[in-house]
Every structure is written in C-alpha cells, then in structure tokens.
Chain A
Amino acid sequence: MGDVIAILEQRNGTLKRVCNETLTAARALADELSGEVYALVIGPPGVSVDGLGEYGADRVLVCADSALELYQGTRYAQIAAALAGKHESEAVVLAATAFGKDLGPRIAAKLGCPFAGDVTSISAGDGIVVTRPAFSGKATFRLKIVAQRCVISIRPNAVTPVAVAKGGVVEQVTPGEGDVVGATTVAVKEPERMALDVAEASVVVAGGRGLKEPEHFRLIEELAAVLDGAVGASRAVVDAGWRPHSEQVGQTGKTVSPNLYIAIGLSGAIQHLAGMRTSKVIVAINRDKDAPIFKVADYGLVGDLFEIVPRLTEEVKKVRGS
C-alpha cells in the first residue's frame, strides 16, 4: 500500500529525458504515502534501464518483448493495469507527453479509477491532492482524489528532477496474455533531422505573423539553435502553412512551460497566452508597445524584430561561448 508506479517512456530502446521528472514526482509522492516506487519500462528486448535507482526507483520492472518496441496503447495499458493491480499500488504516474496523454486514461479505464491529467503539482496529506490547469490554462483546479487508486499524468517541465539514490533493483516481468486489440502501431516516421519538440524543450523561441514570410523563420531557427531550444509558432502562421502544426502553441496547439519563452512578432492573443503563460521567464519582442504579449512578459524589447533578432543571436552566442 502507498506504492507508486512510475511508467517511463522509451523510444528506440532509450528512455526519454522526461523520465527523471516522472521518477522525481513518484518518489516525492511515495515518501508522503510511505510507499515504494516501482519504475515500469515497457519496450523492446535490451531496452536501457540503467541509473533509474539514482532518481528514486526502489524497483525497476522491465517488460521487454519485440512486439512492444513501438507504443501500442491498449497493450501497454493492459500490462500496466495488471501490474498496478498485482502490486496494489495507490497511484500510477506518467508524463503528459503524447505517450502519457494516450496511455494514462486507458490505464485508468482498465483499473476503473479516476484520472487527473497534465497536473503541475501533486501532494499527499489527507488524500492525494493535485493542481491542474483547466480552461486552457486560464484557471487552475485543486482536486482531491477520493478513491483507493488513481492515475496521474504530469506536465513536462513542471517538476525539477532531483537525484535520490535508491536500490533500483531490476526485475523482468512477462507481458502476459492480452486481449485481441485490433489496433497496431506499425511504424514511427521520424524526420531526418530530429527537431526538439516545443512541449519538451526547456527553451522555446516562438514566431508569429510579424515574421512576414515563411523564409524569415530562419531567424527564429537560428536563435533557437544557439539556445538549444525548440521553435514554436502562433496559430496564424500555422494556418497560413508557414510552420507545421506540431509547433503551434496555445489553446488548440501545445501547452508549454519552458524555463525561457521568447515570443517574437506575435501579438499574444488570449488563445496563445493560454498555452505559454506558465513559462518561467517570458521575453517579448514586438514593434507595437501595446501588444498584449507585453502584459505577460518579464522582459520586453520594443522594435523591429528584423534588427533585434540577429543581434540577439550574436549576443547569446557570445555569452554561451559557442
């Protein structure tokens, strides 16, 4: 009782960086519940599970099978739910990435328990309490779990990973018999150059219609590159076909909370703000000093982005010594 299962995401047999956040959150919750942390990794044979003890896993359950290399929603959920049942865990936690957003609700449905998605904090005193943004980030719910068990997904970047050495004893588990599923992930198409995703990046440089032409996004890409960040976009430029939908930030795009968000030539419409207002530091560059983006910005630069951005890229290069 009081145990927490942290479900960790792998791609191509390698765990994602966000897993340390998931483990950190699981560790903190398990400590409050006086329980243990089980890390669960589902993936292909040979999937790497080194070092999970360093971030607080007491035990590491590895379910490896060649049929589980690619993410298979229902199948993964069957495995996770069976283990959660067997270990009588009180909470199942995972990151609210595309993987966690799909998998979390499936596990909750199989366990018949509540699901709290995309939470920004978890605590346990008199029951488990989470905070989660709603109304596209315009308000925040504080919610109490009133059930024996629950599934919680955690927004990327909401938790700072903390190293806590625990046993991390690895144990192989078998996938067990599954029902016939009827849906199979057959391929994962990866672009040649893997771009960092806006939702996972700790720095986001976002551009809007102020860039004037799709080619000018080169300025945004260059600044993002020197900051090791990801490119984001307003809906206006996504709808215009300048940028892929996967880069859209906002109410009908992605919700992001990076350490640094630089908004360039975008006005800061309410639907855009909804997706980025929880960023830790916001910088706005816009020639209109009354643009709404300045209302949420920590630092603003008023002026022509075509003059400011190349200079900014140069200056950042200097201070980062690259």
Chain B
Amino acid sequence: MKIAVCVKRVPDTETRIKVGADGKSIDESGVKFVLNPFDEYAVEEALKLKEQSSGEVVVVSVGSDASQETIRTALAMGADRGVLLKAETRPLDPLATAQVLAAELRQGGYDIILFGKQAIDDYSHAVGTMVAELMGLPSVSAITTLEIGDLKGTAEREVEGAVEVVEFSLPVVLTAEKGLNEPRYPALRGIMLAKKKPLEVKEVELDLGGIEVLELALPASRKEGRIVGEGAEAVPALVDALKNEAKVL
C-alpha cells in the first residue's frame, strides 16, 4: 500500500498571536512551530495502515525551507520519506495550495492520501476535500473511524448529533479528525533515523489564488467583566444580571 500524508507547519497551540508590521500576517519572532495537530492523526493512521499490510508512507508539505523540520517530525514518527514542495508564498485561498498538492500527488500512484481535517493557522478545513475533487477521487472528511479492506473501505464522520457512515473504493482521500487514533511520540531512535531518511525538495509555483488579505487583527478584546459574588448566595444576583442586564434568559 502506498500512502501519502500531507502535513503543514503551524504555530504551536500555546502561541500568543502578535500581528506583524505589515498588519496582514503574524509576527513570527519567538513563535514555536509544530506539525499541525490534526496532521498528527493523519500520520499516525498512515503508519498503522502500513504496519497492518506493508508499503510506503510519503510525507508531503508545501512551504518554505523551514517546513523540512515539520516533515522530519513525521519521519521521526515512522514515515519513510518526505517531499517538500518549496514556495515562499502563503496563500489564504486553500484552492491554490490544493492545486499544487494535487499536481504532485497525481504522479505518485497512491492508494490512500491522508490529510488533517484542518490547519489550525488558516483554519480553512478545505485543502483535503479540494485535492480529492481536483483529482476526481472519492473522499471522506473529518473521519473518526477507518477500516480498510480489499480495495475498499468504510469510514465514519461526526455530524451534528449523528454519525455518517461512508463506504468508498481505493484510491481514496481521507481527512483526519481528533479521535481517529492516539498519535505516537517520536522515539529517540526514530529521531536519529529520521535524519537519514530521504527528503526531496522541489521548487513549485504557488500563486495567491483569489483571496487578498486586507488585514489581520486581534479580536476585539472583551469588555471588562465582573465578579458577581461568591458562593451559592450570589446565584440570584447572577440570574438577575443575566435576565435584566445581558437579557439572555
């Protein structure tokens, strides 16, 4: 089984966002970058599938040279080799990224292509399903369970208050939701091995697509709240405030 996993380098979840001097992007000084948390589930699933049968897990990322580190993290978890599609642009239009990925993945002859459901920086929740549509492949997004059989499989995805069960044929594109598995931590040995694994760098043209950034701003800070009181005695005062002041009851 030949499996591709697309991964993105994103600011760590602990990061406090500062707006950069251009007013359109974040100030990256002092920001720690990590493998997108949802992509960890995708990498883990790929490794599990490889362990069940055999084959190869290829990690693909679109980004600057710094994304090599992100690819190495996935290699340290156990993936076999990496491909960096090198570009300095960072489109906010997910279609631009999807087109570059689809062009690369088309040539790969993959049976399964995995994504995270969402990158926690741009928050688009789009690239995986877009790649599937561009490639004309079946796909299921935000999956929480997966079973792969002979050239076909079944996945479940959570929708509001219910679960959809989707059957598909291979090759397939899948995007991972939290709950699919428990990602492994790279072991020291894995980290050492990862340094020697092949990582190919290809220059690509990545345009900005059809979305122009006008501004990046911090959300309006919430107006100062107040402590209504202490303990159960203060409950009536809270209910009164919710009813008559905030008018939400």
Interface residues of A (CB under 8 A from B): 11, 70-71, 73-74, 77, 97-99, 101-102, 104-106, 108-110, 112-118, 129, 132-147, 150, 179, 181-191, 194-197, 199-200, 203, 227, 245-246, 248, 251-253, 259-260, 270-271, 274, 277-278, 280-283, 289, 294, 296-304, 307-308, 311-312, 315-316, 319-320
A-B contact count (CB 8 A): 281
Decide yes or no whether B21 CB sits under 8 A from chain A: no
Contacts of A300 in B (CB 8 A): 225-228
Verify B133–A74 contact, CB threshold 8 A.
Answer: yes
Q: Are B215 and A191 in contact (CB under 8 A)?
A: no
Contact residues in B for A136 (Cβ distance below 8 Å): 13, 120, 123
Q: Is the CB of A143 within 8 A of B214?
A: yes
Residue of A nearest to B174 (CB): A183
Residues of A within 8 A of B138 (CB): 74, 181-183
CB distance from A246 to the nearest CB of B (A): 5
Secondary structure class of chain B's binding surface, majority of residues? mixed
Assuming the A-B contacts A98-B142, A106-B133, A183-B167, are A144 and B214 also in contact, with contact meaning beta carbons closer than 8 angstroms in the complex? yes
* Contact (Cβ within 8 A) A299 B123: no
- Give the number of chain B interface residues (Cβ < 8 Å): 86
* Residues in A neighbouring B19, C-beta threshold 8 A: 139
CA distance A196 to B214 in the complex (A): 36
Q: Smallest CB–CB gap between A188 and chain B, Å? A: 5
Supposing A114-B209, A134-B122, A253-B178 touch, asked if A297 and B165 sit within 8 A by C-beta, the answer is: no
Is A282 a contact partner of B160 (Cβ separation < 8 A)? no
CB of B163 within 8 A of CB of A189, answer yes
Pair B167/A184 contact, Cβ less than 8 Å: yes
- The listed residue (A115, A185, A289, A304) touching B227 by CB distance below 8 A is A289
Interface bits B198-233 vs A (CB < 8 Å: 1, else 0): 000000000001111111111100110111111110
Q: What residue of chain A has the Cβ atom nearest to residue B121's Cβ?
A: A135
Query: CA–CA, A296 to B225, complex, Å?
Result: 7
List 28 contacting pairs A-B, 8 Å CB cutoff, sorted by A: A71-B159, A74-B138, A98-B159, A102-B157, A105-B127, A106-B130, A108-B130, A116-B211, A138-B17, A140-B216, A140-B219, A141-B215, A141-B216, A143-B92, A146-B210, A179-B136, A182-B138, A185-B164, A189-B163, A189-B164, A195-B161, A203-B248, A245-B144, A252-B37, A252-B178, A260-B242, A283-B238, A301-B231
Interface of chain A, main secondary structure: mixed
Q: Which of B43-51, B62-70, B93-101, B106-114 contacts A (4 or more CB under 8 A)?
A: B93-101
Distance of A68 Cα from B162 Cα, bound (Å):
18
B227 and A302 contacting across the interface, CB-CB below 8 Å:
yes
Residue among B165, B177, B235 making CB contact with A315, cutoff 8 Å? B235
Q: Are B211 and A315 in contact (CB under 8 A)?
A: no
Given contacts A141-B215, A181-B138, contact A200 B160 (CB under 8 A): yes
A283 to B227, CA, bound (A): 10
